[in-house]
Homo-oligomer: A and B are copies of this chain.
Amino acid sequence: MKESVIVVYERPELNDPIFIEGLPGIGLVGKLAAEHLINELKAKKFADLYSPHFLHQVLIKKDSTVDLMKNEFYYWKSPDEEHRDLIIITGDTQVPPTDSYGHFEVVGKMLEFVEQFGTREIITMGGYQVPELQGEPRVLGSVTHLELKEKYKGYDIVFREDEGGAIVGAAGLLLGIGKLKGMKGICLLGESLGYIVDAKAAKAVLNVVAKILNLEIDMTALDERAKETEEILRKVQEMQRAMLEQQIPTVERGEEDRGYI
């Protein structure tokens, strides 16, 4: 495998779909929000992205089967005129932060793919780490074009003015590379203390997205999902810790088994 590959299971006919991204990041905010949206809308998976820039490992599922790490594309066709068709991406992982080139390659492939379905607009979701929260987490917004700031003015978004700040990873690159392709987009980051799984921040972000999409989303299941995810991660970390404490440094140490990184 020499470059990212997208395996396509279905080619839905979509009408001017909005592309929504929620991949793992700070507080898993984006991933939680995307997965909840997919579940509530019963969005349908239609493609998987695999990349040689992801970690060289397979993940184990509860039923003992394994899969390469991947990102998953879902679509949702609006039943009426009042809503927009959606493509939603979530997944196990992003490219590691040491591989800038890989990030560009993967995000480039994503955009080439959603372009084929007529995508012209992007919403990326994630977390923004703060030292402390005052009340409910705010949702910080950045846009590709000034007109979007105007358009989304009434949606409880605090637009960022921290010149020189940065948005790292897919949440940023999708807007940046998308802009070069004539796409428009907004990045929504929920304030988070950076805990492992931050359901509160995910809810805050999803509330804004629901307004933008003119959707009603039941948030009840979100907390449960967050708890489940947290439990899995906690178990994985415990296993890791137990192993690490035991590890002796040797020249010929292999790496067949290690926990989720």
Point out the residue from B63, B102, B256 that lies within 8 Å of A167, measured CB to CB: B256
A36-44, A82-90, A211-219, A240-248 - interface stretch: A240-248
Interface size class of A (residues with CB under 8 A): 35 or more
- Copies of this chain present in the complex amount to 4
Contacts of A149 in B (CB 8 A): 63-65
Query: A8-16, A20-28, A71-79, A113-121: which lies at the B interface?
Result: A20-28
Task: Tell me whether B96 and A66 are in contact (CB under 8 A).
Answer: no
Asked whether, in the complex, the Cβ of A127 is within 8 Å of the Cβ of B176, the reply is no
Task: Kindly provide the distance from the CB of A236 to the nearest chain B CB, expressed in whole angstroms.
Answer: 4
Q: Which residues of B contact A54 (CB under 8 A)?
A: 100
Are A105's CB and B2's CB within 8 A?
A: yes
Chain B CB within 10 Å, residue with most, of A55, A99, A245: A55
Does A208 sit within 8 A of B, measured CB to CB?
no
**CB-based contact A56/B100 at 8 Å:** yes
Chain B residues contacting A255 (CB-CB under 8 Å) are: 25-26, 97, 168-169
Q: Can you spell out 19 A-B residue pairs with CB atoms less than 8 angstroms apart? A: A1-B107, A2-B3, A25-B256, A52-B104, A56-B100, A60-B165, A62-B163, A64-B141, A64-B143, A64-B146, A65-B143, A65-B145, A94-B254, A96-B100, A99-B100, A126-B254, A128-B256, A194-B246, A194-B253
